[in-house]
């Protein structure tokens, strides 16, 4: 680095002044005439150097008197530098040790520096999900044995608003299941508020806490995957939900009402299978396992377990209407396995289709009152949808997909999900008009791929 300095003349005391005419010095002659020099000493230069001194008389300082003081200053300077370097090295060692013991914090900082997309990509991969068929023998396990086996694999999921202050209350709490010893945890999509943005805290049954990050979620099956930087975890085994039979005994394990009642075990039976839950999300694809095992808020995301210690479902909801008891519902494990594998490897469930609209169902009663056909009312069209180019606009009513009449949302989604992204379907559309007579027309529409990001939660409106 080049620095500019202003030169200043300092007045010093010394021997008697020397007259200018006496100040021409021949250094080479002085060196050669100095008989006291060591003969082995190297002479670096014998070039004659002349000093043209100004007319003003200038005293000559004696450098020998300054040597002890300069040496002392240099020693002090070196001591200060050594102390600073020692401090920096010690601080660096402390930081390294701290971050090695707090890998989740290091991951969070790294994610913040590299961007959200880099964070997401670093979390995608493959999980070694344990999956076993139902044993053929009758050697079922006791509830005590199953609890000891599964309790370490069931965690508390505490969700905080990403925009909240450092000290804030959680926005939701639920349960989760460790399915991979490298830190993959499954829970319900509604537990993480159908979002990747919230801050997640994982709490084990031994009260160990660490940070988690939502890899992806799927509102249509109410499944979400969380990844935490923790290895050597005890993971659960998924069973074959297609082998579940009505009447067999099951257990539910989770955190009803939050961490205050963590690791609560309840018992029941399978009350029914293949239930289409009418109170679930209108775009749900799930045929639920119904159970009378006690399931309460906070149990969501926890396991429904058969008597072989296998997870056959993920507890998702219950009917809590007055006078009703023992009506809980779980997402079958076979659905969970397929959805989770896709979310872990891609961040979303592949192969899903959507129209790119926000819509709501017109019931028979509403149709009679408004003198319109039963169908799907288009209330919003998203930017990437090709419905406008097909002539469809907000306010239109989709009455058919192909030759199938849309009588309810189950029919609508059932027909829609028979197709793949990029395929073209024909919609029958009814349009009302204030200035002309109503009319029905057909429109060809290319289906979009739903990568999960369009699953926006709106009041009585869903992104397809």
Q: Is residue 192 helix, strand or coil?
A: coil
Whether 181 sits among the annotated catalytic residues: the reply is no
Cα–Cα distance list, 427 to 365, 367, 411, 461 (Å):
23, 19, 14, 20
Q: How many residues does the chain have?
A: 464
- How many whole angstroms separate alpha carbon 136 and alpha carbon 299? 29
Residue partners of 34: CB distance under 8 A and separation at least 6: none
Q: Which of 180, 218, 222, 396 is catalytic?
A: 222
Tell me how crowded residue 270 is: count the other CB atoms within 10 A of its CB.
Answer: 22
Q: Is 190 considered catalytic here? A: yes
Q: Which helix (H) or strand (E) holds 426?
A: strand 424-431
Classify the phi-psi angles of 89: left when phi > 0, otherwise alpha if psi is within -120 to 50, otherwise beta.
alpha
Cβ-in-10-Å burial (0-12, 13-18, 19+) of 308 comes to middle
Residue pair 288/330 in contact by the 8 Å Cβ criterion? yes
Q: Is 220 exposed, middle or buried (0-12, 13-18, 19+ CB in 10 A)?
A: buried
Candidates 235, 262, 248; CA nearest to 150 is: 235
- Reference 275, options 329, 219, 233, 324; nearest CA is 329
179 C-beta neighbours (distance < 10 Å), count = 27
Of 107, 190, 342, 450, which residue is the catalytic one? 190
Q: Decide if 222 is catalytic.
A: yes
Cα separation, 131 vs 109, in Å, equals 35
In the set 300, 333, 385, 428, the catalytic residue is: 300
Catalytic residue numbers read 190, 222, 300
């Amino acid at each position: 680095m080049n620095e500019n300095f202003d030169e200043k003349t300092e007045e010093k005391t010394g021997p008697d002044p020397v007259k200018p005419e006496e100040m021409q010095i021949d250094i080479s002659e002085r060196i050669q005439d100095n008989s006291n020099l060591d003969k082995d000493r190297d002479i670096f230069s014998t070039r004659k150097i002349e000093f043209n001194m100004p007319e003003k008389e200038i005293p000559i300082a004696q450098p020998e008197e300054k040597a002890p003081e300069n040496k002392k200053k240099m020693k002090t300077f070196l001591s200060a530098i050594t102390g600073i370097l020692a401090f920096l090295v010690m601080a660096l060692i402390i930081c390294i040790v701290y971050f090695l013991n707090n890998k989740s914090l290091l991951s969070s900082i790294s994610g913040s520096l590299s961007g959200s997309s880099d964070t997401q990509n670093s979390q995608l991969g493959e999980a070694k999900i344990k999956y076993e068929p139902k044993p053929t023998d009758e050697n079922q396990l006791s509830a005590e044995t199953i609890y000891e086996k599964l309790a370490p694999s069931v965690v508390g999921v505490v969700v905080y608003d990403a925009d909240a202050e450092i000290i804030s209350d959680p926005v939701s709490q639920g349960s989760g299941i460790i399915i991979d010893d490298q830190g993959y945890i499954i829970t319900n999509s509604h537990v993480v508020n159908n979002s990747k943005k919230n801050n997640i805290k994982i709490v084990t049954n031994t009260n160990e806490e660490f940070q988690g990050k939502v890899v992806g979620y799927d509102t249509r099956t109410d499944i979400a995957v969380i990844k935490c930087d923790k290895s050597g975890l005890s993971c659960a085994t998924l069973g074959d939900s297609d082998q579940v039979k009505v009447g067999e005994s099951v257990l539910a394990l989770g955190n009803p009402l939050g961490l205050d009642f963590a690791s609560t075990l309840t018992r029941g039976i399978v009350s029914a299978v293949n239930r289409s839950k009418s109170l679930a999300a209108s775009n749900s694809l799930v045929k639920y396992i119904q159970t009378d095992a006690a399931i309460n808020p906070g149990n969501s995301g926890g396991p429904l377990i058969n008597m072989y210690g296998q997870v056959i479902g993920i507890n998702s909801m219950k009917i809590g209407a007055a006078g009703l008891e023992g009506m809980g519902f779980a997402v079958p494990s076979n659905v969970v396995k397929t959805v989770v594998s896709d979310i872990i490897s891609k961040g979303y469930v592949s192969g899903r289709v959507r129209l790119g609209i926000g819509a709501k169902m017109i019931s028979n009663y509403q149709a009679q009152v408004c003198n319109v056909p039963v169908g799907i009312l288009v209330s919003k069209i998203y930017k990437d949808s090709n419905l406008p180019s097909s002539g469809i606009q907000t306010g239109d009513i989709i009455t058919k997909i192909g030759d199938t009449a849309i009588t309810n949302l189950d029919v609508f989604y059932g027909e829609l999900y028979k197709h793949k992204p990029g395929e073209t379907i024909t919609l029958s559309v009814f349009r009302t008009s204030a200035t002309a007579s109503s009319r029905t027309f057909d429109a060809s529409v290319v289906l979009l791929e739903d990568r999960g990001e369009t699953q926006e939660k709106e009041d009585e409106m869903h992104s397809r």
